[in-house]
């Protein structure tokens, strides 16, 4: 891990996630009644649970509104869920104020142009591997994994490692 990235990650107190294309692979499946389903990665979810267990807050900030997202957030005990957001930067500023955080204490993972205004503001910005090229040019880090396929877990693990939590996690799960 590069030194400047590690320094940024040490400060992170909240991780904010886009949903479609970040927590999922970007596909939206609708049946003939209009009921929507999405595919989430279980390892991403476990990474978010571990991150929260070690004191990092998690928020969802998405342009679409979906019951599926509500259910997934509840399942992962994510308290801060902002859906149907047309101006992510404006809501991001409200999150900072409400959580009493500075922008450099927040990481954000995005994949599309609607995410760029927030990506430019946060302390650590991430584009998933399959994000638009224009988004990749706007971030501190491009994940090795694609959205919905381990990108979120990758960033959770990076934060935990940079903050020195990994030895305790490794011991808990008998990894070493």
The answer to whether 22 touches 128, Cβ cutoff 8 Å, is: yes
Q: Taking Cα atoms as reference points, which of 148, 141, 103, 145 lies closest to residue 125?
A: 141
Is the per-residue pLDDT at 143 higher than 90?
yes
User: Which residues does 98 contact at the CB level (< 8 Å), separation at least 6?
Assistant: none
What's the pLDDT at 2? 77
Residue range 93-128, pLDDT digits in tens: 999 999 999 999 999 999 999 999 999 999 999 999
pLDDT band at 176 (very low <50, low <70, confident <90, very high): low
Q: For the whole model, what pTM was predicted?
A: 0.96
Could you tell me how many residues make up the chain?
176
Q: What is the tens place of the pLDDT at every residue in 148-166? A: 999 999 999 999 999 999 9
Q: What is the pLDDT of residues 21-78, one digit of tens each?
A: 999 999 999 999 999 999 999 999 999 999 999 999 999 999 999 999 999 999 999 9
Residues 70 and 81: their CA atoms lie apart, in Å, by 8
Three-state SS for 56?
coil
Q: Which domains does the chain have, with CATH numbers?
A: 3-104+128-170 (3.40.50.1000)
Q: Is-contact 128 147, C-beta < 8 A?
A: yes
Q: For the CA atoms of the chain, what is the radius of gyration?
A: 15
Q: Which residue in this structure is represented by tokens 């501190």?
A: 140
């Amino acid at each position: 891990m590069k030194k400047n990235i590690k320094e940024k990650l040490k400060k992170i107190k909240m991780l904010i996630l886009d949903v479609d294309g970040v927590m999922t692979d970007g596909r939206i499946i609708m049946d003939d009644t209009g009921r929507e389903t999405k595919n989430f990665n279980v390892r991403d979810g476990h990474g978010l649970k571990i991150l929260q267990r070690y004191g990092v807050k998690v928020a969802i900030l998405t342009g679409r509104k979906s019951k599926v997202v509500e259910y997934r957030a509840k399942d992962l005990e994510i308290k801060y869920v902002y859906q149907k957001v047309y101006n992510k930067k404006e809501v991001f500023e409200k999150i900072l104020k409400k959580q009493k955080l500075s922008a450099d204490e927040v990481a954000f993972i995005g994949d599309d142009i609607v995410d760029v205004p927030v990506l430019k503001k946060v302390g650590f910005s991430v584009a998933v591997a399959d994000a638009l090229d224009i988004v990749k040019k706007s971030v501190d880090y491009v994940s090795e994994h694609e959205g919905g396929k381990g990108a979120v877990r990758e960033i959770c693990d990076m934060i935990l490692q940079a903050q020195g939590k990994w030895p305790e996690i490794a011991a808990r799960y008998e990894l070493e």
